[in-house]
Amino acid sequence: MTKLKLLVLFLLGINTLNAQNILKAKVTDAATNETLEGATVYLKPSKIGGVADEEGVINLLNIPNGKQLLTWRIVGYETRYDTLNFPLTNTDTLKIQLQSLEEEMEEIEISSTRSSRSIKDIPTRVEYIAGEELEEKGNMKPGDIRMLLAESTGIQTQQTSATSANASIRIQGLDGRYTQILKDGFPLYSGFSGGLGLLQTPPLDLKQAEVIKGSSSTLYGGGAIAGMVNLISKTPTEDGDMKVFLNGTSAKGLDINAFYGKRKGKFGFTLYAARNSNGAFDPSGTGLTAIPKFERYTFNPRVYFYPNKTTKIMFGVTGVTEERKGGNVSLINGDTGITGRYFENNATKRISSQFHIEHKTKNDGVFNFKNSVAYFDRKLTTYTYTFNGKQTNSFTELSYLKASKKLEWIGGLNVWTENFKHDNSYLFDLDYIQNTIGAFAQNTWKAAKKLTIESGLRVDHVIDYGTAFLPRLSLLYKQNPALTYRLGGGMGYKAPTIFTEATESILYQKLQPISKNVNSMEKSYGLNGDINYRFYLAHNKLSFNINQLFFYTRILSPLMLKFYITPADLDYNRLENFNGHIDTKGGETNIKVGFGDFKLFLGYTFTHTDLHTDSGLKRMPLTPKHRLNTVLMYEIEGKWKVGLEGYYFGKQTLSDGKIGKDYWICGFMVEKLWEKFSVFINFENFLDARQTRFDTIYTGTLSNPNFRDIYAPLDGFVVNGGVKYFPFGDACCKK
């Protein structure tokens, strides 16, 4: 009997051993073939599971015989299900590929970092505005890009003229002159042309906008201390792209914009043309324009030539002409008998060329040659004087890129010239020539599976102002597909010019010229880091993406405007380098939540900016410490878009020492789409937040106003609506 029991136990043991199967699997990204450390598998009904190691490998033991349902999961990827019958006939390593839920991130081309890598592999933090978001902002403000940039965290559009609505871009609390604005890598909006640059750049011909916050001078030269905005144009496609945009506003505005692009064989062509206009608009009844009367025409043709598969040539010309009249509404409308005769008239002409050759070599290198010439003529006339100036800029760059799987090198040379001449009848001679010669090199190194390092160095020599050495370093660490860290820092500089927010606000009156004997370059260093985490719930139907950014920038010997009164009562303004520094520090929190057809965007910006001088500490004006962004979107693809948004601006210190009131700006937008056209309506600032409702915008008299800082909207509640026609389909939003 004992022997029989032993025999039964032996036979059962053999059967158990035969039922203990082994599975070895390797989990990778379906698009990039990268291993997915941390991926999990769960087997039903046996309840056996495992986690992938650094090589993406999972080893499972003691799997019973029979059918097992395998569930493969990792944050950011679609869940995969497989049914296997054990024991397996093939015991080789099982290859499992998971599909990313954000596959479009792999396809986004970012040109601002000069790298050829995808956005998820770039150590430098880049924010991009593209596709549907670009379209929605275009619906709200189709005539210029202020709305496109102003509603992002950490970015503020600062109005510098109460009656002409001139504006500049501020990033992380720093003046507009510290932000470099490019179009396709060309610096077309600097110096004298920068004051109206935002107002004369429409969004309809843009593919996307790329924003780098923090010191970026190593990438593109001086002027990018606070950050850089690179506007990327649409290029011709074989399918073709055409869009006609008609928009009208309750504030007397009318926009007629059209874009066409098409490639056929070796040739391609794009054309953008627009007429944008507005009547003198004064919702407050103060008698001064909140929106000036203007009429602007824009014409931008581009020709593309593809002689072979390795070479691309582009040549384009942009022409803009505008008449802008702000000030006393009655005077602008033709009533010459009134007593209050204050006005500001701006007559501008802008023409620029862009030339670009890209050639790929046999050893996978890429040569790029760029050249642009820009001419800007502006005649500013007020009731007491005229300021007339002409600026000619040129930019030439030659670069070479060589990339491999682990290393990428790029180096180049560039020459940047700026020549400004003004009317000789002015009180002081403000003419200047500023030439810069630069060389740069950048390396991107995949040092380890989880770590990528990007380093760079630029050396710029500014004639009359010396040489700037600009190193930068950025790190990207991917702990897993859901969690990434970035840390970066660099140095920057800004060569002195007479064109700043402060001088624009005084309309360059009684301004002394800059001088190499008095002025010097502003230099800076900065550091920023961010943490990005995304996760999915409810079987991947509910998505969360959280990004937390921290930043710090210090500017040494900042250029500030100072007012002098001489004993002879000859008062004047002069730009001087202060013996001290500006520092700005803070953080940005961005949260994106998606559920079905709904998307929720939440953003918070904390900014603290101070001026440190020998006489003490001073809070920099026009920088709200707290700002909140909220946007809720509902979209049925190809049918409806509905958006509700609210933006909170905290209290701001003003130049006169007073504190500006906090306020909310709220908007509501609806768009109905059909196959080839759509209609939309937008209720912007429907709470009618206006500075003229809760504060004053000037002191003195209407005939001779002394304008205060503009820290809140002046136009108030505005309704706009229109029609978009796209006979080739909405190319911007195609999947």
pLDDT digits (tens, 9 = 90+) for 461-491: 999 999 999 999 999 999 888 899 999 999 9
pLDDT at res. 690: 96
Mode of pairing for the β-strands spanning 663-673 and 640-649: antiparallel
pLDDT band at 15 (very low <50, low <70, confident <90, very high): very low
Residue 621 located in a structural domain: yes
pLDDT digits (tens, 9 = 90+) for 684-715: 999 999 999 999 999 888 888 889 999 999 99
Residues of the chain above pLDDT 90, percent:
56
Segment 261-290 shows an average pLDDT of 94
pLDDT at res. 2: 53
CA atoms within 13 A on the CB side of 710: 25
Segment 12-39 shows an average pLDDT of 76
pLDDT at res. 136: 82
CA distance 301 to 385: 37
Residue 32 located in a structural domain: yes
> Where does a domain end: 176, 209, 229?
229
Q: How many domains does the chain have?
A: 3
Residue 90 located in a structural domain: yes
Specify the residue for token string 């649409």.
234
> Where does a domain end: 229, 252, 282?
229
Segment 19-24 shows an average pLDDT of 83
251 and 192 co-located in one domain: no
Cα 439 → chain centroid:
25
174 and 288 co-located in one domain: no
Q: Over 90: is that where the pLDDT of 584 sits?
A: yes
Q: Over 80: is that where the pLDDT of 729 sits?
A: no
Segment 129-137 shows an average pLDDT of 81
Count CB-CB contacts under 10 A for residue 319. Answer: 15
Cβ atoms of 669 and 680 within 8 Å: the answer is yes
Q: Over 70: is that where the pLDDT of 203 sits?
A: yes
325 and 414 co-located in one domain: yes
210 and 314 co-located in one domain: no
Return left, alpha or beta for 557; rule: phi > 0 is left, psi -120 to 50 is alpha, else beta.
left
pLDDT at res. 149: 82
Give me 291's structure tokens.
């929106």
Residues of the chain above pLDDT 70, percent:
93
Give me 252's structure tokens.
């007397």
Phi, psi for residue 349 in degrees, rounded to 5: -135, 130
Segment 13-39 shows an average pLDDT of 77
Residue 7 located in a structural domain: no
Mode of pairing for the β-strands spanning 227-233 and 179-183: parallel
- Which range (85-89, 390-394, 550-554, 569-573) has the least confidence? 569-573
Q: Over 70: is that where the pLDDT of 619 sits?
A: yes
The CATH number of residue 199's host domain is: 2.170.130.10
CA distance 370 to 395: 8
Q: Over 50: is that where the pLDDT of 348 sits?
A: yes
pLDDT at res. 424: 65
Cβ atoms of 282 and 329 within 8 Å: the answer is yes
Q: Over 80: is that where the pLDDT of 635 sits?
A: yes
Q: Over 70: is that where the pLDDT of 569 sits?
A: no
404 and 257 co-located in one domain: yes
CA distance 388 to 421: 9
- Residue 66 domain boundaries: 17-98
127 and 222 co-located in one domain: yes
The CATH number of residue 290's host domain is: 2.40.170.20
Count CB-CB contacts under 10 A for residue 261. Answer: 24
Q: Which DSSP string do the residues of 161-188 spell out, in sequence order? A: -TTT--EEEEETTB-GGGEEEEETTB--
pLDDT band at 17 (very low <50, low <70, confident <90, very high): very low
Q: Which of 509, 525, 428 is nearest to 470 (CA)?
A: 525
Q: Over 60: is that where the pLDDT of 9 sits?
A: no
Q: Over 80: is that where the pLDDT of 76 sits?
A: no
Segment 537-542 shows an average pLDDT of 76
304 and 429 co-located in one domain: yes
380 and 421 co-located in one domain: yes
Cβ atoms of 612 and 579 within 8 Å: the answer is no
Q: Over 70: is that where the pLDDT of 72 sits?
A: yes
End-to-end CA distance of the chain: 74
pLDDT at res. 400: 96
Q: Over 60: is that where the pLDDT of 503 sits?
A: yes
605 and 650 co-located in one domain: yes
Residue 6 located in a structural domain: no
Q: Which of 603, 608, 586, 617 is nearest to 652 (CA)?
A: 608
Beta-bridged to residue 560, according to DSSP, are 576
Segment 481-509 shows an average pLDDT of 91
381 and 293 co-located in one domain: yes
pLDDT at res. 613: 86
| DSSP category for residue 252 | S
The CATH number of residue 30's host domain is: 2.60.40.10
Q: Which of 95, 333, 345, 135 is nearest to 243 (CA)?
A: 135
pTM, to two decimals: 0.88
262 and 411 co-located in one domain: yes
Residue 431 located in a structural domain: yes
Average pLDDT of the chain to the nearest whole number = 88
Task: List C-alpha distances in Å: 627 to 96, 407, 489.
Answer: 45, 40, 24
pLDDT at res. 12: 45
What three-state secondary structure class fits 399? strand
Residue 3 located in a structural domain: no
- Which range (11-20, 434-443, 541-550, 562-571) has the least confidence? 11-20
Segment 571-593 shows an average pLDDT of 93
Task: List C-alpha distances in Å: 356 to 185, 289, 302, 311, 395.
Answer: 10, 41, 11, 11, 12
pLDDT band at 107 (very low <50, low <70, confident <90, very high): low
pLDDT band at 627 (very low <50, low <70, confident <90, very high): very high
Beta-bridged to residue 406, according to DSSP, are none
pLDDT at res. 435: 95
Residue 25 located in a structural domain: yes
pLDDT band at 20 (very low <50, low <70, confident <90, very high): confident
518 and 665 co-located in one domain: yes
> Where does a domain end: 32, 66, 98?
98
Q: Over 90: is that where the pLDDT of 269 sits?
A: yes
